[in-house]
Amino acid sequence: MPALREYRHVADAFFVVVLVYFVPLARLVGNVERAGERLFFQIFGRNSLVEMVAANSMSGIIWWILLPMVVVIIEGDSLKDIFIKFGKRRGWLVGGVVLLAFVIAGFIVAFISEIEIGVYLALLPLAITFALINSIKEEVLYRGLLFGRTLRFGFLFALVCQFLWFGLVHMLYSGGQGWGYIALIMGGAAGVILAWMTKRFDSLACPILVHMGLDFVLFMAVMVPQFHYRGF
């Protein structure tokens, strides 16, 4: 199939990035990630919550960004081909409204929680940083590269791939204890919705804003209570 032959560029890019990781630049990549984690500790202090956020934000960040860029270079495309463009103005509006709604929901969780509101306010810069970095790097990879390339095989096929990839990734990081299948379904559904937004508004802007809101609520409603009751 012509589409499959075209898809070899993704394999070529994957091979290049693997070389970057496991040949001479592997140590440099690791040093960059560790330097990023140390920067987190200098800015936010160091406790179990900050360590988790720093590891999540910096682990593989060069991989997540480098792979899409290498694909673009090898294929001779522009960044627009992986939806890195302004897109439709309505997408920014929809994304901004959803982000605002999630931020309000996050603060409602904080106010009704048994945890002192001062704890949430003190962690607000960390929450924003976590949501910003995580949303950008995941959207560039999943909706930019993976969704953008699987669209060649049809919109429905690309959505199924999004459900499987995004769902399985969140299933793996769910920590088990009965949460695995819930994470699979919720993560997969989120992947499909974010992919639809990417196609509908022709840009990563809307899904990044929505993803930021989702991660902000996750931080306020799940991560802070989990680490607070364990004493951070």
At residue 89, what is the residue type? Answer: R
Q: By percentage, how much of the chain surpasses pLDDT 70?
A: 84
pLDDT per residue as tens digits for the range 152-182: 889 999 999 999 999 998 888 776 556 778 8
Q: Is 215 exposed, middle or buried (0-12, 13-18, 19+ CB in 10 A)?
A: buried
**Position 27 confidence tier, pLDDT thresholds 50, 70, 90:** low
Six-digit token string for 139: 């959207």
Q: By percentage, how much of the chain surpasses pLDDT 90?
A: 59
Six-digit token string for 179: 């949460």
Instruction: Decide if 152 contacts 75 (C-beta within 8 A).
Output: no
Instruction: Decide if 193 contacts 86 (C-beta within 8 A).
Output: no
* Residue 65, pLDDT above cutoff 80: no
Sign of the alpha-carbon dihedral angle for 190, 191, 197, 203:
positive
List, as one string, the DSSP characters of 23-84.
STTHHHHHHHHHHHHHHHHHHH--SHHHHHHHHHHHTTHHHHHHHHHHHHHHHT--GGGGT-
Segment 214-221 shows an average pLDDT of 96
pTM: 0.88
Query: Could you tell me the CA-to-CA distances from 129 to 15, 133, 166, 179, 207 in Å, in that order?
Result: 31, 6, 21, 26, 17
**Position 64 confidence tier, pLDDT thresholds 50, 70, 90:** confident
Sign of the alpha-carbon dihedral angle for 208, 179, 112, 115:
negative
